[in-house]
Amino acid sequence: MINFNYETDFKLTTEEHISHWVIETIKLEGYKLEEINYVFCDDQYLHKLNVEFLNHDTLTDIISFDYSVGKIIQGDIFISIERVADNAMDFEVNFEDELHRIIIHGVLHYCGYKDKTDEDAKVMTAKEDHYLKMLS
């Protein structure tokens, strides 16, 4: 099950479409979905979580808490709509494309992909690109 929660005025207009896409991604990666809770929020909300739970005093676009066990995916994904909007401008892409990239980025972390090294980040970006093409 995928749940969408809003701590800001933003609201997805395609929740069902996004849900099907995320579920299909998880299946194609060889995992099974238990539950993902997406929480769309602002910078202040996400910054507070970043400081409180990760001891990072920085702004970020996404924080994911992974409660998965084995191949069963479960977790909470917090996304700052303000950061996504700023990143979209910085990367010269439209807001919706950047939002979709961030939505699937959190899921790919749950599927075991990392992005701390340059090599891992390249693999992660390639996977994001692959699944973003499926969304269209």
As a whole number of angstroms, the distance between CA 3 and CA 7 comes to 13
115 is in an annotated binding site: yes
**pTM of the shown model:** 0.91
Residue 56 has pLDDT above 90, yes or no: no
Q: What is the pLDDT of residues 12-34, one digit of tens each?
A: 999 999 999 999 999 999 999 99
Rounded CA separation 41/46 (Å)? 7
Would you report the helix, strand and coil content of the chain in percent, each value rounded to 5? 50, 20, 25
In whole angstroms, give the CA distance from residue 31 to residue 3: 18
Backbone angles phi, psi at 2, to 5 degrees: -120, 130
Residue 56 counted as an annotated binding residue: no
Q: Which residues of 14-42 are buried (b: 16+ CB within 10 A; e: fewer)?
A: eeeebbebbbebbeebebebeebebbbbe
Instruction: Check whether 136 has a pLDDT greater than 80.
Output: no
Question: pLDDT class for 58, splitting at 50, 70, 90?
Answer: confident
| 104 contacts: CB under 8 Å, gap ≥ 6 | 21, 22, 25, 128, 131, 132
Distance, CA of 1 to chain centre: 15
CATH of domain 2-135: 3.40.390.30
How do 32-41 and 2-6 pair as beta strands? parallel
pLDDT of res. 57: 87
Domain layout of the chain by residue ranges: 2-135
pLDDT at residue 53, as a whole number: 84
